[in-house]
Amino acid sequence: MTALPAQTEKKLGLAIDLDTCVGCHACVINCKEWNTSNYGAPLSDKDAYGAEPMGTFLNRIHTYEAKQEGCNAQTVHFPKSCLHCDDAPCVTVCPTGASYKRQEDGIVLVNEDRCMGCGLCAWACPYGARELDQEAGVMKKCTLCVDRIYNENLPEEDRTPACVRTCPAGARHFGDFNDPESNVSKMSAERGGLALMAEQGTAPVNRYLPPRPKTDTGAGNKIDLLAPYLDPMEEKAGGFLGWLDKALEKI
């Protein structure tokens, strides 16, 4: 039944650190690699080497620029995958019972044996977390690597989502938001973890840790630690040109 559980025992999700993400897209690639050969239908590509390639991905990286009047712009790399919302609208709109949210850990999944590919769940999601696979005709979404995190055939350090495991910057963290002592809960509390588009009322589980204040944007704090080292070096010409330079300066 596509009713949402009243509450879930765990709230597994990701804390994504926008301060440390370098936008390398390694999580995108590892996500695709793991999920194309495990849970459900493969993540197909269409026209992969053509003029307009298109493929199914469960995780995407946008890069934004934020700029305040009179300040330098900041670049923020922004990974986006399913936020495993507490009040997931994608689940309740599903007519076939293919979409569901697990009572035990809060993961939102699609049972592909029931999905008819109507796409209504993708319309209901404000975050663009669901993509209809053009080859298999079924809805694909982040499973939080449900086939890794409980997989006893994998070494313990690999029992995290593929995107978290591979991130070279340590920008993605996996844990239980229901446990106030978990890594992700602590991190989110410390850094003021954000819920995306809170006005949509979806109550997302994933949290985004905002970029730390920069010192070189010219906003507020004017101290620029690196500035003295970055001043353009005075070019000193020697020989005849040096003499000419000095002579002309004196006139």
Partner 1 sequence: MHPAPSVIIFTSLSGLGFGLIFFLGFAMPEVTGWSAFWYYFVAFALSVGGLLASVGHLKNPKNAIHAFSQWQTSWLSREGVMSVLTLVLVAAYAIGLIFFSTRIGWLGWLGAVMALITVFTTSKIYNQLKTVPRWAMPITPGLFLTYALSGGALLAGQVETAAILLIVLTLMQIAAWQMGDKAFGAAGSTIESATGLGNLGKVRLLESPHSSPNYLMKEMVHVVGRKHSQKLRWIAGITLGLVPAALLLLLPLTYPLALVAVVSHLVGLFAARWLFFAEAEHVVGLYYDKR
Based on the shown chain and the rule CB under 8 A, indicate whether residue 93 belongs to the binding site for partner 1: yes
SS (H, E, C) 27-57: HHHHHHHHHHCCCCCCCCEECCCCCCCEECC
Based on the shown chain and the rule CB under 8 A, indicate whether residue 1 belongs to the binding site for partner 1: yes
What kind and span of H or E run contains 89?
A: helix 89-92
Q: Out of 17, 86, 105, 131, point to the residue binding partner 1 (CB under 8 A).
A: 131
CA dihedral angle for residue 207, residue 211, residue 212, residue 216, rounded to 10 degrees = -170
Encoded one letter per residue, x for contact with partner 1 by CB under 8 A and - for no contact, window 7-46 reads -----------x----x----x------------------
How would you class 202 by CB atoms within 10 Å of its CB: exposed for 0-12, middle for 13-18, buried for 19 or more? buried
Choose the stretch contacting partner 1; rule: CB under 8 A; options: 131-139, 151-159, 162-170, 183-191. Answer: 131-139
Give the dihedral sign, CA 207/213/218/219.
positive
Choose the stretch contacting partner 1; rule: CB under 8 A; options: 32-40, 67-75, 232-240, 242-250. Answer: 67-75
Shortest Å, Cβ 91 to partner 1: 8
User: What 8-state DSSP symbol labels residue 243?
Assistant: H
Q: Which of residues 148-187 bind partner 1 (CB under 8 A)?
A: none
Rg (CA), the chain: 24
Based on the shown chain and the rule CB under 8 A, indicate whether residue 231 belongs to the binding site for partner 1: no
Shortest Å, Cβ 128 to partner 1: 4
Based on the shown chain and the rule CB under 8 A, indicate whether residue 113 belongs to the binding site for partner 1: yes
Q: Out of 69, 157, 234, 249, point to the residue binding partner 1 (CB under 8 A).
A: 69
Based on the shown chain and the rule CB under 8 A, indicate whether residue 73 belongs to the binding site for partner 1: yes
SS (H, E, C) 123-168: HHCCCCCCEECCCCCCEECCCCCHHHHCCCCCCHHHCCCHHHHHCC
d(CA 165, CA 169): 11
d(CA 54, CA 139): 15
Nearer to partner 1, 131 or 149 (CB): 131
Shortest Å, Cβ 236 to partner 1: 39
Q: Out of 20, 38, 74, 178, point to the residue binding partner 1 (CB under 8 A).
A: 74
Query: What residues make contact with partner 1 under the rule CB under 8 A?
Result: 1-3, 18, 23, 28, 51-57, 60-69, 71, 73-76, 78, 80, 89, 92-98, 113-120, 122-128, 131-132, 134, 136-138, 194-201, 208, 210-211
